[in-house]
Amino acid sequence: MVEALRFGDTLEIRCGSCGKTSQPSVTYEVDLIKHLCCSGCGNVDAFEFEQPDEEKKRAAPVLLNHEDLMERSKPGKLASYSTTRGYCDGQYLEHSKFGAGYVLIVRAPPVKMVVLFEDQKRLLVCEPGPSSDTTKNATSKKKRKPAKPRKPTKSQDAGSLKSDEGPVKCPVCGKEVHPYNLTRNPQGKVLGCMYCKQTR
């Protein structure tokens, strides 16, 4: 799946999911293990990069399967899976139905993670972990200030009337009414009042 890598060369992999050869991005790295993400389809796999041989000057990345990754887990009880718990890349967990799993990547929004189980990779809901890329994205976003109320434009001001104005004479029917009860068109021209509407 992955060809040998010479130091200084560009790493290219043939994705096991889409079959395309591309330059992957590294989403997680610890010791000699790296998670590589296919630039074509976004598939993530875990690889081990061996120490380079002095004679050959090559480091051959090896695809790690579920069994390989479980051998590298620390002895002891694995954390049980919960949708409300935060997870991060490279973490081990225990699912009640699927068994032991290894977190390949946590993505958001919405917050979901790709977990490698013995039978296959699965997408599970979770909360962001302390070092996942979702928290980096969340903290990098600046807090938005609430929008200020807009001031009325001149055209809106022309049609609005002060509440302390006295009664005015309707130019249509001649009755005295409060300016608030005059009906106006969008340009501000008086079309009548509340009494004119009742007589129509």
Q: Quick one: three-class SS letters along 43-106?
A: CEEEEEECCCCCCCCEECEEECCHHHHHHCCCCCCCEECCCCCEECCCCEEEECCCEEEEEEEE
pLDDT at 90 over 70: yes
pLDDT at 2 over 70: no
Mean pLDDT taken over the chain: 77
Strand partners, 107: 112
CB 181 within 8 A of CB 175: no
Give the pLDDT confidence score for residue 91 in this predicted structure.
92
Give the pLDDT confidence score for residue 6 in this predicted structure.
43
Strand partners, 176: 169
Give the pLDDT confidence score for residue 160 in this predicted structure.
46
Q: What is the pTM of this model?
A: 0.59
pLDDT at 134 over 50: no
When pLDDT is averaged across residues 142-163 and rounded to a whole number, the result is 50
When pLDDT is averaged across residues 160-183 and rounded to a whole number, the result is 77
Confidence of residue 53 (pLDDT cuts 50, 70, 90): low
Confidence of residue 197 (pLDDT cuts 50, 70, 90): low
User: pLDDT digits over 5-28, tens only?
Assistant: 444 456 788 888 888 888 899 999
Give the pLDDT confidence score for residue 5 in this predicted structure.
45
CB 79 within 8 A of CB 85: yes
